[in-house]
Amino acid sequence: MAVRQDVVPGAETTEAQIAVHWKEEEYVYPPAKFIGQANLSDPAIAERFQEKNFPECFREYADMLTWDKYWHTTLDASNPPFWKWFVGGKLNACYNCVDRHLPKYKNKAALIFVPEPEDEPVAFITYQELYTRVNEVAAVLRDFCGLKTGDRVTIHMPMIPELPITMLACARLGIIHSVVFGGFSGEAAGLRAADSGSRVMIYADGYYRNGKIADHKASADIAVEHAEKEGQKIDKVLVWRRHRGQYLSAKPMVEGRDYFMDDILKDFRLRKVDPVSMDAEAPLFLMYTSGTTGKPKGCQHRTGGYLAYVTGTAKYYQDIHPEDVYWCMADIGWITGHSYIVYGPLALAGSSVIFEGVPTYPDAGRPWRIAEQLAVNIFHTSPTAIRMLRKTGPDEPKKYNYHFKHMTTVGEPIEPESWRWYHEVVGKREAAIVDTWWQTENGGFLCSTKPALDPMKPGSAGPPVLGIFPIIYDEQGKEVQAGSGRAGNICIRNPWPGIMQTVWKDDERFVKQYYTKYCKNRESKDWHDWPYFASDGAVLAPDGYYRILGRVDDVINVAGHRLGTKEIESACLTVPGVAEAAVVPVVDEIKGRMPVVYIALRPGVSDGKRVEQEIVTTLETMIGKIARPKAVHIVTDLPKTRSGKIMRRVLAAITNSMDTGDVTTLANPDVVDQIWQEVQGTGPVVKKEGPEDLKRFGEVE
């Protein structure tokens, strides 16, 4: 039996105490040219955001917005962990992102749409045009659909400008939008629509991806069917056509339910809708994300605190000025897109690029051609995209004449080697880079360097952002000290304006998931007793820079996107013949992690090949292509504890050729050797130490 090499001897040693072998990288300093023009170049900011000035320091962010009524209480923390921000204040998010910029910027691009087909012209939508279109759509939502403040609408759309236009139209009326990533399946969208109680869904007919037209309307029919199965009737499906008057889908429109937006809008031309003055605490949107249970949870974000937080962080950390051309290559269907394509940049009167396609189509030079064509000077993407572009076109950036002053990475840890390519080749050593750590739940950044003030350190997210006070705890709730080289669970000690309000319709889940692990006194009314548990492992270097190791729960981060193992397993269990399923992450050179599925068949089932294929198609239809597993292994049995719990961690170790640790206490220890044989074709050989998140995979329930 293999013996762990990496654990300090002693049975009580927990994973959180594993020492992390990591060489801290040298600092890289931001260029003087960047510092000279940065929004945040005064070091006095650190003083203003010291803990002694919390929570009033966040007035600085809220004051960047236009309020209909100023707030009277910055933070009401009297009912932990249900924080209230800017209490008494009233504002409208759409007004802040559109109307208020008209006097100065009406003729400036708000959104710049880059279609995937390179011969289709780029579309520039000015603030005036955005204002006109958002008003018209708001009129459709209100007068054609009968929607009102507080109603929910599910928007399942690809990266076309009508997506942010629809979101802003909702925000104008105080309708809570729930955007589902366009790459998710119709079934996934339908379940989310049902959970949110949406009776209207908004779609596009199709879009271009990888040189082909994707039939997106087909998902709408499936979504409606699944929402209805869950007890939620969908009255209306509004369908944006990618090309006006031309229908890209093979699916017929359903009479009395489906409507083309371009047809309906004819009756609403130039209609104006007054923005509804919303309480700062009114929900702005829901964003569903995966957690430790099978059912995705609707993270509910508030209007005032969220908008203040993304505006402040976009200004100081993304360095957006109105004259910049800012391109975040994420999808608006994820939180990054909400905060840092739509709300943050538009609240600052920025020009935000929306790209429909994939970055490597038709070749890996496409992003750099776009950058040159539009004079993009702020670029924002994920380590997965960086790795992919580096692999497929390492020398492409040199061919194009663009200049980034600022670049961001988000969503996953970035290894120093990829960081250096990003800095030297993509950024031509001219850009300040921020590695931003945060989550769907958080609204905006939690750790990042201040681009003009802090040196960068490849592979480290950096210090906490302004007004955020993290702490790393071990499993026993003891603080893990800076410089100890030990990993632990990163928590945030204080509330902040961007944090979600609750899980939609599930306060209990909100408290349990994020606030009970390290809360010493559930009766306490003092926020100091309620640290936010992020479910990420982290190490703190002596200089105060955090290195994020990855999830400590059963969430797999595929290309920067979260998938719950239980979600995937539940889908696998619907395939006939499957008795048990376990899903674990495997290291993937490009995507960071991918799911690998282990299946035990029911007695008498022998057509394993059929099951394998059905697993793949089932995951694609129930969740989306993003959940496509790297491998499906049919095994005789799954490793289990004596109480019957499947030991995913053992499977994760085998999958990644890592040490399984002591398995003698399992109910079926023999199965471990069998699985090594079946999967790796060998006995238990430890090839590599493996990344920290895999050692800790599934540790926290």
**Least distance from ligand PRX to the Cβ atom of residue 289, Å:** 5
Angle, CA of 335, 438 and 501, to the nearest 5°: 65
**Contact call for residue 557 and ligand PRX (CB under 6 A):** yes
**Nearer to ligand PRX (CB atom), residue 278 or residue 541:** 541
**Least distance from ligand PRX to the Cβ atom of residue 697, Å:** 12
**Least distance from ligand PRX to the Cβ atom of residue 66, Å:** 27
Contacts of 622 (CB under 8 A, 6+ apart): 185, 187, 188, 571, 574
Candidate ranges 312-320, 429-437, 476-484, 684-692; the one touching ligand PRX (CB under 6 A)? 429-437
Which amino acid, one-letter code, is at 560?
G
**Least distance from ligand PRX to the Cβ atom of residue 616, Å:** 23
**Least distance from ligand PRX to the Cβ atom of residue 448, Å:** 8
Closest CA to 157 of 95, 113, 97, 205: 205
**Coil, helix or strand at residue 238:** strand
Angle, CA of 654, 658 and 662, to the nearest 5°: 80
Candidate ranges 79-87, 176-184, 190-198, 549-557; the one touching ligand PRX (CB under 6 A)? 549-557
Contacts of 198 (CB under 8 A, 6+ apart): 151, 152, 153, 154, 178, 227, 232, 234
Distance between CA atoms of residues 229 and 155, nearest Å: 19
**Nearer to ligand PRX (CB atom), residue 390 or residue 561:** 561
Distance between CA atoms of residues 439 and 161, nearest Å: 24
DSSP code for 5: S
Q: Which phi and psi (to 5°) does residue 327 adopt?
A: -130, 110
Candidate ranges 307-315, 361-369, 410-418, 503-511; the one touching ligand PRX (CB under 6 A)? 410-418
Contact assessment for residue 440 and residue 453, using Cβ atoms and an 8 Å cutoff: no
- The structure tokens 């990475």 sit at 409
How many chain residues are in contact with ligand PRX, going by CB under 6 A? Answer: 22
**Nearer to ligand PRX (CB atom), residue 164 or residue 564:** 564
**Contact call for residue 550 and ligand PRX (CB under 6 A):** yes
DSSP code for 589: T
Bridge partner residues of 304 (DSSP)? none
Distance between CA atoms of residues 555 and 553, nearest Å: 6
Q: Are strands 470-473 and 488-492 parallel, antiparallel or unpaired?
A: antiparallel
Largest CA distance in the chain: 74
Candidate ranges 38-46, 351-359, 409-417, 521-529; the one touching ligand PRX (CB under 6 A)? 409-417
**Nearer to ligand PRX (CB atom), residue 151 or residue 693:** 693
Q: Which of 138, 325, 410, 583 binds ligand PRX (CB under 6 A)?
A: 410
**Least distance from ligand PRX to the Cβ atom of residue 536, Å:** 5
> Other CB atoms closer than 10 Å to residue 62's CB: what's the count?
24
**Nearer to ligand PRX (CB atom), residue 205 or residue 536:** 536
**Contact call for residue 412 and ligand PRX (CB under 6 A):** yes
Cβ-closest residue to ligand PRX?
A: 440
Candidate ranges 314-322, 421-429, 554-562, 635-643; the one touching ligand PRX (CB under 6 A)? 554-562
**Least distance from ligand PRX to the Cβ atom of residue 116, Å:** 23
**Least distance from ligand PRX to the Cβ atom of residue 538, Å:** 9
Backbone φ/ψ region at 613: left (φ over 0), alpha (ψ -120 to 50), beta = alpha
**Nearer to ligand PRX (CB atom), residue 164 or residue 337:** 337
Q: Which of 109, 461, 575, 652 binds ligand PRX (CB under 6 A)?
A: 461
**Contact call for residue 433 and ligand PRX (CB under 6 A):** no
**Least distance from ligand PRX to the Cβ atom of residue 117, Å:** 29
**Least distance from ligand PRX to the Cβ atom of residue 514, Å:** 12
Contacts of 236 (CB under 8 A, 6+ apart): 145, 199, 200, 201, 257, 258, 259
**Nearer to ligand PRX (CB atom), residue 198 or residue 290:** 290
**Least distance from ligand PRX to the Cβ atom of residue 336, Å:** 5
**Contact call for residue 335 and ligand PRX (CB under 6 A):** yes
**Least distance from ligand PRX to the Cβ atom of residue 419, Å:** 11
**Nearer to ligand PRX (CB atom), residue 359 or residue 413:** 413
**Nearer to ligand PRX (CB atom), residue 545 or residue 676:** 545
**Nearer to ligand PRX (CB atom), residue 289 or residue 484:** 289
**Least distance from ligand PRX to the Cβ atom of residue 389, Å:** 18
Q: Which residues, numbered 434-453, are part of the site for ligand PRX (CB under 6 A)? A: 435-440
Bridge partner residues of 124 (DSSP)? 112
Q: What is the three-state SS of 505-530?
A: CCHHHHHHHHHCCCCCCCCCCCHHHC
Q: Which of 178, 311, 336, 351 binds ligand PRX (CB under 6 A)?
A: 336
Classify residue 401 by burial, with Cβ atoms within 10 Å: 0-12, 13-18, 19+. Answer: exposed
The two structure tokens encoding residue 38: 């940065």
**Nearer to ligand PRX (CB atom), residue 633 or residue 696:** 696
Binding flags for ligand PRX, 626-665, as an x/- string (CB under 6 A): ----------------------------------------
Q: Which residues, numbered 524-543, are part of the site for ligand PRX (CB under 6 A)? A: 536
Distance between CA atoms of residues 58 and 56, nearest Å: 5
Radius of gyration of the chain (CA): 25
Bridge partner residues of 436 (DSSP)? 410
**Nearer to ligand PRX (CB atom), residue 396 or residue 441:** 441
Q: Which residues, numbered 265-294, are part of the site for ligand PRX (CB under 6 A)? A: 289
Cα within 13 Å of Cα(626), Cβ side: 20
Distance between CA atoms of residues 172 and 522, nearest Å: 38
- The structure tokens 């992003």 sit at 367
**Contact call for residue 413 and ligand PRX (CB under 6 A):** yes
**Nearer to ligand PRX (CB atom), residue 241 or residue 380:** 380
Q: 490 vs 89, 408, 532, 580, CA distance in Å?
A: 32, 22, 9, 33
**Contact call for residue 548 and ligand PRX (CB under 6 A):** yes
Contacts of 44 (CB under 8 A, 6+ apart): none
**Coil, helix or strand at residue 341:** helix
**Least distance from ligand PRX to the Cβ atom of residue 279, Å:** 26
Bridge partner residues of 486 (DSSP)? 19
The footprint of ligand PRX (CB under 6 A) covers 289, 335-336, 410-413, 435-440, 461, 536, 548, 550-551, 557, 560-562
